[in-house]
C-alpha cells in the first residue's frame, strides 16, 4: 500500500478552507467528478482535503428510520444541516474540527475493497508517526457510523472510512475528528437516533451509541492539534515521498462535469429529504 502512496504522482486539491461554508453535497459531487476524470485518465490521481461547517451526513439506511423527520428536526434545532450522501455508511458529524480526506484513484491500479481501506489506514499512520503504532483498525461498538475500518487509539474512535466506485474510479474518503470533543459529537448523533427510532424495533440494526467511545485526535494525542496543521502535514508528507505533488484546483474544462454531478446529487438529496 505504501508503494502506491509513495510512487504515485499526486494532484492535491486543498478545500480545507474554501469549502467550509458550502454544503457537503458539493464535496460529494467533487469526488464523483474526480472519479469520472481519473477513471477516464483525464486527470492524475488526486488527494483532496475538505472541511464543512455543522452538518450531519446521513446514509441511505438512516433515511429509512421510522421517525426520520423528528430526528432531522433535532439536528436542525442543534444547528446542524442534515443531508444524505451517496457513499456507504450511516450518520456522521461534519464541523470545523473535522478534516475530510479523499484519495481518488483510477482502476488501472486495481484495488480490492479491503486494499482500498488499507491504503487510507497507511496514509493516516504515516501522517501521525508519533502514535502510528497505537492506531488500530477495527469496529468500535457504540460509535456512530461503525465499520470494520474504524480508526481508534486505546479503544476510542477518531475516524471512519468509506469508499465509492464509479466510472472506473475509486474515491476513498475518511473523516478525521481532529479538534474538539468527540463524545459531544457522538451525543448529537445519539439524540438523532433516539428521536428517529422512538423505541421502535426495525429490521436494520442502528447503532446504540455510547458517546465516550469517541474522541478527537487532539484529545487522544494530548497536543493542541488543529485541522490546518494536519492539512499541512499531509502536504509535506506527500512532497517528501516523491516530490511529484502539484496543486491544481478544479479547472474550467472540468467544471461542466462537476455541475452535472452536483445537479444530480442535489436532486437526489431533495427527493430523499421530502
pLDDT at 272: 64
Q: Does domain 2-272 have CATH number 3.30.930.10?
A: yes
Name the active-site residue from 51, 145, 174, 217: 145
pLDDT at 211: 96
Report the distance separating Cα 71 and Cα 197, nearest Å. Answer: 8
The pLDDT tens digits for 81-111 are 998 876 667 999 999 999 999 999 997 767 8
Neighbour tally for 9: CB within 10 Å: 11
Find all residues with CB under 8 Å of 83, minimum gap 6, and list them.
23, 24, 25, 55, 56, 57, 58, 269, 273
Q: In the chain, what are the domain boundaries?
A: 2-272
Per-residue pLDDT of the chain (274 residues; tens, 9 = 90+): 667 888 788 999 999 888 777 888 899 999 999 999 999 999 999 999 999 989 999 988 888 899 999 999 999 999 999 988 766 679 999 999 999 999 999 977 678 899 999 999 999 999 999 999 999 999 999 999 999 999 999 999 999 999 989 888 999 999 999 999 999 999 999 999 999 999 888 989 899 999 999 999 999 998 889 999 999 999 999 998 877 788 988 899 999 999 999 998 888 777 666 6
Quote the pTM value: 0.94
Report the distance separating Cα 102 and Cα 47, nearest Å. Answer: 6
Instruction: Report yes or no: 163 and 170 within 8 Å, Cβ to Cβ.
Output: yes
pLDDT at 273: 61
pLDDT at 144: 94
pLDDT at 87: 61
- 38-77 burial, b at 16+ Cβ within 10 Å, e below that, comes to bbeeebbbbbbbbbbbebbbbbeebeebeebeebbebbee
> Does the annotation count 35 as an active-site position?
no
- CA distances to 32, 36, 59, 103 from 264, rounded to whole Å, are 11, 14, 17, 22
Amino acid at each position: 500500500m505504501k508503494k502506491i502512496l509513495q510512487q504515485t504522482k499526486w494532484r492535491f486539491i486543498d478545500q480545507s478552507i474554501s469549502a467550509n461554508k458550502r454544503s457537503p453535497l458539493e464535496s460529494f459531487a467533487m469526488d464523483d467528478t474526480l472519479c469520472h476524470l481519473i477513471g477516464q485518465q483525464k486527470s492524475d490521481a488526486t488527494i483532496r482535503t475538505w472541511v464543512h461547517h455543522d452538518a450531519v451526513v446521513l446514509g441511505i439506511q438512516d433515511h429509512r428510520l421510522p421517525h426520520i423527520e423528528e430526528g432531522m428536526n433535532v439536528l436542525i434545532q442543534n444547528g446542524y444541516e442534515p443531508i444524505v450522501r451517496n457513499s456507504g455508511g450511516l450518520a456522521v458529524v461534519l464541523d470545523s474540527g473535522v478534516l475530510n480526506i479523499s484519495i481518488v484513484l483510477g482502476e488501472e491500479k486495481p484495488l480490492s475493497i479491503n486494499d482500498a481501506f488499507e491504503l487510507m489506514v497507511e496514509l493516516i499512520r504515516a501522517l501521525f508517526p508519533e502514535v502510528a503504532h497505537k492506531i488500530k483498525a477495527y469496529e468500535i461498538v457504540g460509535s456512530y457510523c461503525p465499520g470494520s475500518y474504524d480508526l481508534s487509539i486505546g479503544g476510542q474512535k477518531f475516524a471512519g472510512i468509506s469508499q465509492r466506485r464509479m466510472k472506473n474510479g475509486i474515491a476513498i474518503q475518511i473523516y478525521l475528528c481532529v479538534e474538539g470533543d468527540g463524545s459531544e459529537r457522538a451525543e448529537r448523533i445519539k439524540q438523532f437516533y433516539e428521536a428517529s427510532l422512538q423505541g421502535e424495533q426495525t429490521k436494520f440494526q442502528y447503532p446504540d451509541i455510547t458517546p465516550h467511545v469517541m474522541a478527537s485526535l487532539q484529545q487522544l494525542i494530548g497536543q493542541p492539534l488543529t485541522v490546518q496543521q494536519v492539512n499541512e502535514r499531509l502536504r509535506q508528507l506527500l512532497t517528501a515521498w516523491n516530490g511529484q505533488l502539484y496543486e491544481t484546483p478544479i479547472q474550467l474544462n472540468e467544471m461542466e462535469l462537476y455541475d452535472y454531478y452536483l445537479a444530480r446529487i442535489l436532486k437526489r438529496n431533495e427527493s430523499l429529504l421530502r
